[in-house]
Amino acid sequence: MAHGAPLRLTTLASLAFTLTCAHEPVGCLGSGDPACVPPSPCGALTYTCASTRVRAYRFTATSQRVPGLEAEASVGDVVLENDLVTAVIDDVDHPHHLAASGGTLLDLAPRGGADALNAVYTVTGILPRDAPKYRSLQVIEEPGLVAVIARGTLDGNDRVQVTTRYELRACDPGVRVRTEVFNGGRDVSTWFLADAWWWGDRSMTPFIPTQGNGFVHPPLDLVNLDASWRVTPWMAAQSHVDPAVSYATVACGRASLEGVQDLTISAVGLPRTIVRPGDGQVFERMIFTAAGGGIAGAASYALDAHARMNGGATTVLAGRVLGTGGVPVGDDERMASVVAYEPDAAHPDDPLRGTIWSQAVPDVRGQFSLRVPSQKAIRVQVQRFGRATSAGASLTPSGARVELGDLTLATAGTLAVTVREGDSERPLSAELVMVPVEGVTANESVSGSLLGALGERCVPYLGPPHGASPACNRVLAFDGSARFSAPAGTYWLYATAGPGATLARARVTVREGEEAPVTLRLTRLTGLYPAGSLTGDMHVHGGRSFDSAMPDVTRVQSFITTGLDVIVATDHNAVTSYDEALRALNAQDRVVLVSGTEATPLVPWLVPPGGTVPRVVGHFMFWPMTYDPTQPRNGMPWENRVEPGAMFDRMRTVMPADGVIQLNHPTAHLKAGRDEGYFRMLGFHATTPIPLRDDGTGMGMLWRRPGGATGARNLDWHVQEAMNGAGVVLNLGYRASWFAMLDRGLLRGATANSDSHSLTTEQVGYPRNIVLGSFDRARFDRSAYDRAVREGHVVGSNGPVIEARTTDAAGNTVIPGVTPFAPSSGAMLDVEVRAAPWVPVTEVRFIVNGRVARTLTARDLTQPADPFGREGTVRWRGRVALSELLGGRDGWVVVEAGLPLPAMADLEDNDGLPDHIDGDGDGAIDDTELLRPRESDARFHVDVVSPGALPFAFTNPFVVDVDGNGWSAPR
Amino acid sequence: MRSLALSLALVALPVMASAQPCSRGRAGVPMPIALSSGTGDFGTTPSPCSDARVGVDLRASALIDTPDFYGALGGELVLSGTLPLTQRLWLSGSLTAPRFRFAQNATVIGTDLGTGPGDLALHVSLVRDAHLRVSTYVRALLPFDLPTQYALRTGLDAGVSAWWTLSPRVSLLGGVSVPVELSFLGGRGLAYGSVRASLDASVLAASWFEPVLGFEARVGNDPAGALDVFAARASLRVHTGRAVTLHLSGAVPVAGLDRTLARISLGAWITL
């Protein structure tokens, strides 16, 4: 079938229209006029109020941004606003996240609330080519409404035209959206015309009111969509940080939406439909938002709208949650969350078996309201700490509103914790971690979740794992104090101020209705870190990342409680500043914050040699960058569809010449189909030498110059991560890839960063970089610090400290770094290993050219008697001849210290990198992580503080030019 | 099937009595290979012979473009027939029902079961002699597509078909036409036009067995390129001797924009 020219045959067209059976009017699908304006969507829904105010305008100043960590509007974006909501459509040249262009719903906030939305954008399938690329925005203002018309085509097919109308009326509690897609191509296509809600992970939690689901969804499998596919009357989502907000969407003109749900992304829309050339589809829906905790606010709009359009009645259930003595319980998802569900007959007490209709967090007065379908058997249950309580009601509601009265809870037990500095008794900022005492309180009795989601192995469950403190089983005692409630039970309560201080622990019993005071004491260990060094974490996320919801204040508090000197703020695809939070905490002199960014491409486009599927190039870090909220992504250039070399050139336009480019987690896996590790995308194999030219292989792509102002090569980063977070299996892979680079003479420094996204997902400062030099934090020299990082004067560590030095032929002291040197005659490598008493160190390894040349075991090292004391920080001191290690040939030497590496094996993909370890010490290499040991194990305390971590530290290399005639790489 | 055929024969008997058949005895009526990138019989070369007949075909197509993460399968049942009106004038038509479609875009899969468009043609004989038959025709595409979202599809095809007997056993069947498919959605229309030609060579290897080889070419106005398709095609026919011919036919695009891997057809026609 050949593609032809458009015709205008109105008479036949009218006949054609009357013979079709569409749900919605044809609109601009039936017009060849490129300026056609689609009709107003969702005509069956009308909202009334006293206000007539509605306006549209272009964003011009950051003061116009709505509150919220995800508010990303920048100059040129279009704002639609009434007295209830504010919506932002990004300008076509401001692409965000997975979208090919602007024209997406970027911000949406209720009046009095905040924006917690990363983005909502239209799709017709799952590939990047199935998303629209909008080329123009038209703003329309009419009496009582404003609208933005986005026009374009599919990114992968410019014969498929896409037009989306976003409309806001004066009394609408959300945005009306109509998308028209016309197949002007030559092939029959299957479309899934839908909205993709980019949650990102650890942010919003999606919800659908279908039996057995609610907040729980099958794992998203993009290869087998049917396994994840659900049909639902509407969809909602809630945030978990203040100010809380909810979102919901309902289709107009049809009774259901279809699609998939996941904490990373949801997609809901029309059924998968074959659309032949010359035909099209229309999708109308309304997107609501409401302030307040839980999904109840927005879900109420959705359920009401659904009933009005499709028939059926709804009832609002209202009530109040009180504690003992009539004290209102509310304004805290942890302390009270009210769920309304239609019970399953066989399991009436379990909401997860029935159909959950709504869930609310009572307000500060303890009051809540939930909308449910009328004339259905409904149970109302109050949850606390993610578990059911006895408070609740059962009813079959009818009428517009039913008053449930007061639902009474027993008062929760409380801990009032004080942390003091051991000698001075001054308050000391610390992080508190609770774990049940083994054999006294069963994990199952104090675990919890959000109706089956977000449990994250939080035991006890003090609150949602990724928001403000308390989160999961962790609490920040900023400035030395914290008062919080916990489930009844007996716990170990730990206090930690990072691996540069001692560890404190107390056994506490929480009883309902009682408050227990606890005082813990910590001491900062002077002399642990080398003189003049600064500790830094150069990979940290906060709420501005699409996969974090951590409030700024909580994030900054966590920096300080872990004892770090320098933080590089590195949110995904945005530059961040924590200035406001620092000022609010009066903490400007307690930590140095540098703004940077983690370029995180999300649009697959590059097919590596031998591959068939488009990929992204992994993640790269850039700092320092200037925070400019007037610009898209706060000043970060767009990160998609470029190879790393071109990305470096792009970022360099907004970075100083002495900044740092870091390759992150080089061998990390994919997430949501997007590569997180550049080396893995290229097909790195640990036993195959990295090629030294572009030989047509995947790894050969390192040598490409993909174009840019400076012609940077793809391997022109300064440093790369050899440790990222706690995951032992992945860290072994990063280590191996770094060794492979050194072996080939590709000398890059290594760093060790936490990649922390919340209090729960990777703890900030575990690991951290000990940057060597003569620094003064009070007079921080960013340029000198970054120069030291680029030159590899870094020790990476999640606890142990290694101080190593030698001398060169001129008699100068040489510290770890990537610059080759000729050693002095008979040069010795002087090493001292130190650690806080609670960090076990039983092995020191000397790595020469990637192989362990010498090992010191526990009998060679000193072990402290008391892990909670302050004595015994020096574990080994000694010296080794460089000639003994290198055997007279050029090479490189790295010193490692910590616990022995676990037994490991490459069982899955034969890439030479371990994918399994013996994580539980049973002798079987069948684990993918290090599991929590018994309380009697020396690693137990470290595992409480940083779950899954293996105590480990490494120096950057000593690159030894043995005879001083130029260094030769070992392989 | 036989009863239907007889009923049609009774109705058309006065006309048939005065028609000039192309019958080749047991081999029946010469028929071009009825496979094209269109749907049903629209866009195929019709027989230049006016003999009354009915046919049924089961047709399938497959497009698998793995690098593009796209695939499409189709299956349809096509009922066709020819009805002489006068010595030189006859009607032909087809209905496509049911029609099954499968289309896959990466892992997004859609299927539907419905009906395809029909067609109705008027033929006029131009040349009738012992070794050459030429006719011209105008064919309309009938908008019976279901399911559809909004659009209606119709069209017009005008052309010439011919049958040239080179020897008692060898003959050529060919045609040229200009099919134009029109899709209307509201006030918007799309026209898909092309010029197509086909040529088939048949050999009566035996009175009951007739292999056919041929090709089809289409040139259209697709912005991506002029050559819509150049396809090689073949057919094996078994003439049962009771005015029934069974056939298995196939077409494989070898050049052009058409990404279809192959089209096949299994069917029968009965000369009345």
Residues of B in contact with A8 (CB under 8 A): 187-189
- Classify residue A773: in a domain, yes or no: no
Query: CB of A184 within 8 Å of any CB in chain B?
Result: yes
Is the Cβ of A228 closer than 8 Å to some Cβ of chain B?
no
A679 located within any domain:
no
Domain co-membership, A814 together with A841: yes
* Contact across the interface for B187 and A10, Cβ inside 8 Å: yes
Minimum-distance CB partner of A2 among B66, B154, B221: B221
Residue A352 lies in a domain: yes
pLDDT tens, residue by residue, A435-463: 999 999 999 999 999 999 987 789 999 99
Q: What is the C-alpha separation between A255 and A306, in angstroms, rounded? A: 7
Asked if the structure places residue A765 within a domain, the reply is no
> What burial letters (b/e) apply to A272-308, b meaning 16+ CB within 10 Å?
bbbbbbbbbbbbbbbbbbbbbbbbbbbbbbbbbbbbe
Residue A164 included in any domain: yes
* A30 in B contact zone (CB under 8 Å): yes
Q: Which residue has the higher pLDDT, A25 or B168?
A: B168
pLDDT digits (tens, 9 = 90+) for A47-89: 999 999 999 999 999 889 999 989 999 999 999 999 999 999 9
**Subunit contact B151:A16, Cβ cutoff 8 A:** yes
pLDDT at B2: 55
**Residue A843 DSSP class:** E
User: Looking at the complex, does the CB of residue B190 fall below 8 Å from at least one CB of chain A?
Assistant: yes
Predicted pLDDT at A23: 53
Residue of B nearest to A32 (CA): B188
Q: Does A373 lie in the same domain as A401?
A: yes
Please answer yes or no on whether B105 and A127 come within 8 Å at the CB atom: yes
Is there a contact between A275 and B148 (Cβ–Cβ < 8 Å)?
no
Interface residue B100 vs chain A (CB under 8 A): no
CB-CB: which of B188, B222, B228 is closest to A32?
B188
Q: How many CB atoms lie under 10 A from the CB of residue A786?
A: 22
Verify whether the Cβ–Cβ distance A272 to B221 is below 8 Å: no
Sequence-distant (6+) residues with CB within 8 A of A385 are A334, A412, A446, A448, A460, A461, A462, A463, A485, A486, A487
Interface contact B220-A7, CB threshold 8 A: no
- If one compares B22 and A511, the residue with the highest pLDDT of the two is A511
Asked whether residue A348 falls in the same domain as residue A291, the answer is no
CA of A186: which chain B residue's CA is closest? B222
Q: Chain A: give the shortest CA distance to residue B86, in Å.
A: 32
Q: Which residues of B touch A2 (CB under 8 A)?
A: 192-194, 218, 220-222, 228, 257
Q: How far is B2 from chain A (nearest CA, A)?
A: 35
A148 and A248 co-located in one domain: yes
Condensed to tens digits (0 to 9), the pLDDT of residues A614-632 reads 999 999 999 999 999 889 9
Task: From chain B, pick out residues whose CB is under 8 angstroms from the CB of A187.
Answer: 63, 70, 72, 259
Contact A278/B at CB under 8 A: yes
- Count other Cβ atoms within 10 Å, centred on residue A905: 12
The range of the structural domain enclosing residue B102 comes to: 2-271
Q: Mutation test of the interface with chain A: which of B65, B102, B153, B185, choosing the one with the most A Cβ atoms within 10 A?
A: B185
How many separate domains does chain A show? 4
Contact B108 A272 (CB under 8 A): yes
β pairing state of B89-105 and B70-84: antiparallel
Which residues on adjacent β-strands are paired with residue A223?
A: none
Q: Shortest Cα distance from B263 to chain A (angstroms)?
A: 14
Cα separation of A807 and A785, whole Å? 23
Per mean pLDDT, which range of A112-126, A499-513, B9-23 is the poorest? B9-23
Residue A48: CB atoms within 10 A of its CB come to 7
Q: How much is the pLDDT for B1? A: 53
Contact B230/A at CB under 8 A: no
- A374 and A420 together in one domain: no
pLDDT digits (tens, 9 = 90+) for A760-774: 989 999 999 999 999
- Specify the 3-state DSSP secondary structure of A718: coil
Say if CB B271 and CB B243 are below 8 A apart: yes
A63 and A182 in one domain?
yes
A33, A153, A274: best mutation site toward chain B, by most B Cβ within 10 Å?
A: A274
How big is the A-B interface in CB pairs under 8 Å? 181
Question: Would the pLDDT of A266 be above 80?
Answer: yes
Is A13–B186 a contact, with Cβ atoms under 8 angstroms apart? yes
Task: Say if the Cβ atoms of B110 and A1 lie within 8 Å.
Answer: no
Residue B78 has pLDDT above 80, yes or no: yes
Report the C-alpha gap between A541 and A602 in whole angstroms: 17
**Mean pLDDT across B43-66:** 94
The predicted structure's pLDDT at residue A24: 64
Chain B residue with the nearest C-alpha to that of A613: B67
Mean pLDDT of A247-259: 97
Which of residues A300, A333, A362 is at a domain's end? A300
pLDDT value at position A526? Answer: 93
Q: Do residues B264 and B8 make contact, with C-beta atoms less than 8 angstroms apart?
A: no
* Cβ atoms B20, B29 nearer than 8 A: no
Q: How far is A266 from chain B (nearest CA, A)?
A: 15
User: How many domains does the structure of chain B reveal?
Assistant: 1
Q: Tell whether A810 is within 8 A of chain B (Cβ).
A: no
Any domain includes A537? no
> Comparing C-alpha atoms, which of A110, A18, A432 is closest to residue A301?
A110
Q: How high is the pLDDT of residue A290?
A: 98
pLDDT tier at B190, thresholds 50, 70, 90: confident
* Band of residue A21 on the pLDDT scale cut at 50, 70, 90: very low
| Residue A470 and residue A399 share a domain | no
DSSP string covering A914-964, please? --EE--SSSS---BSSPPP--TTSTTHHHHHHSTTPPPEEEEPPEEE-TTS
Q: Does B207 touch chain A (CB under 8 A)?
A: no
Quick one: average pLDDT of A413-425?
A: 95
Domain ranges, residue A507: 413-522
Residue A531 lies in a domain: no
Enumerate the residues of chain B whose CB falls inside 8 A of the CB of residue A281: 149
Per-residue model confidence as pLDDT tens digits over B153-163: 999 999 999 99
* Residue A332 shares a structural domain with residue A452: no
Shortest Cα distance from B21 to chain A (angstroms)? 34
The chain A residue lying nearest B194, using CA atoms, is A2
Mean pLDDT over all residues of chain A? Answer: 94
**Chain position carrying tokens 């026009």:** A151
Contact criterion met (CB < 8 Å) for B222 and A192: no
Which tens digit of pLDDT belongs to each residue from A834-868? 999 999 999 999 999 999 999 999 999 999 999 99
Query: Is pLDDT at A152 greater than 60 in this prediction?
Result: yes
Q: Same domain for A87 and A105?
A: yes
Please tell me whether residues A288 and A363 are part of one structural domain.
Answer: no
Of the three residues A245, A279, A300, the one that is the final residue of a domain is: A300
H or E element, residue B14: helix B2-18
The pLDDT tens digits of the residues spanning A371-384 come to 999 999 999 999 99
Burial pattern A405-434, b for ≥16 Cβ within 10 A else e, equals eebbbebbbbbebbbbbbeeeeebbbbbbb
B259: domain CATH number is: 2.40.160.40
A190–B contact, CB cutoff 8 A? yes
Q: What is the pLDDT of residue A642?
A: 95
Within 8 A by CB and 6+ apart from A178, the residues are A24, A27, A38, A39, A40, A41, A42, A164, A165, A167, A282, A283, A284
Which band of pLDDT confidence, cut at 50, 70 and 90, is reported for residue A804? very high
**Residue finishing a domain among A347, A373, A408:** A408
CATH, residue A167: 2.70.98
Phi and psi at residue B99, to the nearest 5°: -130, 130
Q: Are strands A592-599 and A566-572 parallel, antiparallel or unpaired?
A: parallel
CA distances from A743 to A390, A682, A739, A872 (A): 63, 18, 6, 36
The reply to whether A53 and A141 lie within a common domain is yes
CATH number of domain containing A385? 2.60.40.10
Q: Does residue A643 sit within a domain?
A: no
Residue B12 binned pLDDT confidence (cut-offs 50, 70, 90): very low
Residue A163 is which amino acid? T
Q: Is the pLDDT of residue B60 over 80?
A: yes
Domain shared by A450 and A504, yes or no: yes
Can you tell me the mean pLDDT for A278-290?
97
User: Which pLDDT does position A15 carry in this prediction?
Assistant: 43
